[in-house]
């Protein structure tokens, strides 16, 4: 859970002790504390909040990761991007029926206690909030004053299963739009679902001036290679030669016939996406301006179309390699955005 807390702290560095505890509560219980509140009261409050939204001075993601089960959907970008507010409210209500074990929450608090001490939060403040959070009937905290003043939080918690593919793509493209079109940037797009990665990057290249480089073209490595791609060749032939407005030439490897062919990209754009599994591996650390992790909530093992049935042996080697890779390296929580 330490990596997850690091990701949260990276995204919300002004968080106080009670904001961390609120995150853990929401991770385990979602909006369950609303379950006994009258429907009309909750709806009226929701609509008033929508009507009184004020802009913020920072880039706001469409939604924020809040554990494996839930996400915080931020109202400002959700409304600005034209999504259905009624649908969000109904998903929020449906998510309030979530149940969780308080003992798991208390175990999370124990981990958080040590984490916050390590981050030099005041022990007296940790002890105060910790004792309140462990009292029977605890129903979460409000956000701290410094958190509210900095982020102006306006969101609804919903189960991640309610986040559609369209919303996930909107999260992806919304983040890409935060990069200046006048300044070069290279972004790795990682994740276990390679089909969705490729689809999102291709669509983004239609919606924005973007150059896409596929890690599939650099799989000229043996089956024992930890990272699955030729990182050195990717750096030498592509990443080190990127110049906005200039053509890019590199070799594409075909694993089936073990031959190379030339790829030519006309007039490289300012924003470059390096897409595919292993794109953010440690050998490429320091080469990117950001890393996006696409997690569709299903996992790679359910993606039947990536490797054909006649490649069973290769498929098993590939899955084994992926399992080792994601267990060993902190790709998801080391990223700058979880989609």
pLDDT digits (tens, 9 = 90+) for 147-179: 999 999 999 999 999 999 999 999 999 999 999
Distance, in Å, from the CA atom of 68 to the CA atom of 161, rounded to the nearest integer, reads 10
- 7-47 pLDDT per residue, tens: 999 999 999 999 999 999 999 999 886 666 788 888 999 99
Q: Is a pLDDT exceeding 50 seen at residue 260?
A: yes
DSSP H/E element including 77: helix 75-80
- Using CA atoms, how far residue 32 sits from 4, 49, 133, 136, 200, in Å, is 22, 19, 16, 15, 33
Mean pLDDT of 62-78: 96
Q: What pLDDT does residue 126 have? A: 97
Q: Which are the contacts of 139, defined by CB distance < 8 A and separation ≥ 6?
A: 33
Q: Is 15 helix (H, G, I), strand (E, B) or coil?
A: coil
Q: What is the pTM of this model?
A: 0.91
Question: Bridge partners of 261?
Answer: 252
Segment 265-270 mean pLDDT: 96
Nearest-angstrom CA–CA distance, 185 and 211: 11
Q: Does residue 73 carry a pLDDT above 90?
A: yes
pLDDT score of 319 more than 60: yes
What would the mean pLDDT of 65-72 be, rounded to a whole number? Answer: 95
Tell me the Cα Rg of the chain. 22
Distance CA 191, CA 197 (A): 7
SS3 338: strand
Beta strand segments in the chain, E: 63-66, 70-74, 155-159, 185-190, 210-214, 248-254, 259-265, 271-275, 290-293, 337-338
* Average confidence (pLDDT) over 94-101: 79
Q: Residue 316's pLDDT band (boundaries 50, 70, 90)?
A: confident
Q: Between the CA of residue 228 and those of 255, 281, 285, 319, 330, what are the distances in Å?
A: 12, 9, 15, 11, 16
Q: Judging by beta carbons within 10 Å of its beta carbon (0-12, 13-18, 19+), is residue 197 exposed, middle or buried?
A: buried
Q: Per-residue pLDDT averaged across 291-304, rounded?
A: 65
Helices 2-11 & 17-29 angle (0-180, nearest 10): 120
How far is residue 35's CA from residue 108's CA, in Å, rounded to a whole number?
A: 23
Res 299: pLDDT = 36
What does the buried/exposed string (b/e) look like for 92-104 if buried means 16 or more CB atoms within 10 Å of the residue's CB? bbebbebeeeeee
Average pLDDT for residues 234-263, to the nearest whole number?
A: 96
| % of the chain with per-residue pLDDT over 70 | 92
- Asked if the model's pLDDT at residue 143 lies above 80, the reply is yes
pLDDT tier at 77 (50, 70, 90 boundaries)?
A: very high
Please, which residues have CB within 8 angstroms of residue 196's CB and are 6 or more apart in sequence?
165, 168, 294, 296
Question: pLDDT at position 300, please?
Answer: 36
Reduce the DSSP state of residue 278 to 3 states and report it: coil
Task: Tell me the pLDDT band of 193, cut-offs 50, 70 and 90.
Answer: confident
- Reply yes or no on whether the pLDDT at 105 is more than 60: yes
Q: Which fold has domain 180-338?
A: Rossmann fold (3.40.50)
Q: What is the mean pLDDT of residues 296-308?
A: 49
CATH 3.40.50.300 residue ranges for the chain: 180-338
């Amino acid at each position: 859970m330490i990596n997850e807390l690091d990701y949260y702290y990276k995204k919300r560095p002004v968080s106080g002790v009670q904001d961390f505890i609120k995150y853990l509560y929401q991770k385990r219980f979602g909006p369950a504390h609303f379950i006994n509140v009258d429907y009309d009261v909750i709806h009226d409050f929701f609509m008033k909040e929508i009507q009184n939204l004020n802009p913020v001075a920072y880039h706001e993601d469409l939604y924020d990761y809040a554990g494996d089960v839930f996400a915080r959907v931020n109202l400002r970008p959700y409304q600005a991007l034209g999504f259905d507010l009624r649908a969000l409210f109904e998903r929020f209500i449906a998510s309030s029926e979530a149940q969780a074990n308080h003992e798991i929450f208390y175990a999370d608090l124990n981990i958080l206690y040590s984490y916050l001490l390590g981050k030099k939060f005041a022990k007296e403040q940790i002890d105060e909030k910790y004792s309140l959070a462990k009292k029977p009937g605890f129903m979460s905290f409000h956000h701290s004053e410094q958190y509210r003043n900095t982020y102006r939080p306006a969101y609804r918690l919903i189960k991640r299963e309610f986040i559609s593919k369209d919303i996930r793509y909107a999260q992806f493209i919304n983040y890409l739009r935060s990069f200046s079109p006048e300044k070069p940037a290279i972004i790795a797009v990682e994740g276990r679902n390679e089909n969705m990665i490729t689809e999102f990057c291709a669509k983004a290249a239609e919606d924005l001036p973007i150059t896409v480089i596929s890690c599939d073209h650099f799989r000229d490595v043996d089956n024992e290679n930890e990272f699955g791609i030729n990182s050195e060749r990717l750096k030498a032939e592509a990443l080190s030669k990127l110049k906005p407005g200039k053509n890019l030439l590199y070799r594409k490897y075909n694993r089936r016939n073990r031959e190379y062919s030339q790829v030519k990209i006309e007039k490289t754009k300012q924003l470059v996406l390096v897409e595919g599994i292993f794109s953010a591996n440690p050998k490429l650390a320091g080469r990117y301006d950001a890393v996006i992790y696409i997690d569709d909530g299903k996992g790679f093992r359910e993606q039947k179309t990536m490797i054909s049935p006649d490649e069973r042996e290769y498929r098993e080697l590939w899955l084994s390699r992926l399992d080792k890779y994601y267990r060993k390296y902190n790709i998801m929580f080391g990223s700058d955005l979880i989609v």
